[in-house]
Amino acid sequence: MGERIVADQWGCDVPLRGSDYQDVHVDYQRPLFEEDPDLHLPPYMLLVSFGLCPITTSNGAIEIAPGTHRMSRDQAVHRVASGDIPLHPISLEVGDVLIRHPWTLHRGTPNSTEIPRVLVSVRYVRRWYADGSREINAIPVTLWNSLTLEQREIMRFPVGD
Ligand SMILES: O=C(O)CCC(=O)C(=O)O
């Protein structure tokens, strides 16, 4: 997406033992042009995810339906539901990074172990893009002040107490 990007959302998914399959879903709520939600455009946002522990099919590997970011939502949902496009579990070692298009259908899977499974996801967008689609927790000001200018320049988060 070029050099002029910023991180504007982050989150952490932590399924515990007893968790269930998520519904298959995408990670965006507001297409750039709402009047033409299936318009194919170059990506203007990407999601970067990494585990804070090894992630396997036992503790809840995210499952992804490849190529579904290039289809209309209806077609993608239909082809995944019919089994025409299989969901692939993605195992991650610590240090691995999963980069995905937020329009790609995916779901979380159950954690059958006793240890919580932690997946951190950071959304990067082109600098001009903002959608206010989520409430974002503020970064504590002391933490913000400890960052370099370069680090601050690739983040767009509220800064609070
Ligand atoms: O926790 C997971 O494996 C799925 C995460 C997810 O659905 C998401 O990041 O939108």
For the chain, domain boundaries: 5-134
Per-residue pLDDT tens over the stretch 136-146: 989 999 999 99
Quote the CA–CA distance of 20 and 97 in Å, as a whole number: 24
Tell me how many degrees the CA angle 117-85-97 measures, rounded to the nearest 5.
35
Ligand 1 center to 83 CA (angstroms):
20
CATH number of 5-134: 2.60.120.620
Q: Tell which atom from ligand 1 comes closest to the C-alpha of 121.
A: 9
DSSP state of 17: B
Per-residue pLDDT tens over the stretch 106-137: 999 999 999 999 999 999 999 999 988 888 98
pTM to 2 decimal places: 0.91
pLDDT in single tens digits along all 161 residues of the chain: 888 899 999 999 999 999 999 999 998 878 889 899 888 889 999 999 999 999 999 999 999 999 999 998 899 999 999 999 999 999 999 999 999 998 999 999 999 999 999 999 999 999 999 988 888 989 999 999 999 999 999 999 999 98
Tell me which H or E stretch contains 151.
Answer: helix 149-153
Q: Are strands 5-13 and 119-126 parallel, antiparallel or unpaired?
A: antiparallel
Q: What is the pLDDT of residue 28?
A: 80
Measured from the Cβ of residue 25, the count of other Cβ atoms closer than 10 Å reads 11
Q: In what order do the strands lie in the sheet with 5-13?
A: 5-13, 119-126, 45-51, 98-100
The set of residues, in sequence order, having a beta carbon less than 8 Å from that of 114 and lying 6+ positions away, is 17
What six digits make up the tokens of 86? Answer: 């299989």
Ligand 1 pocket by C-beta < 6 Å: which residues?
A: 13, 22, 27, 60, 62, 106, 108, 119, 121
Ligand 1 center to 149 CA (angstroms):
30
Q: What is the pLDDT of residue 1?
A: 86
Tell me how many degrees the CA angle 22-56-74 measures, rounded to the nearest 5.
35
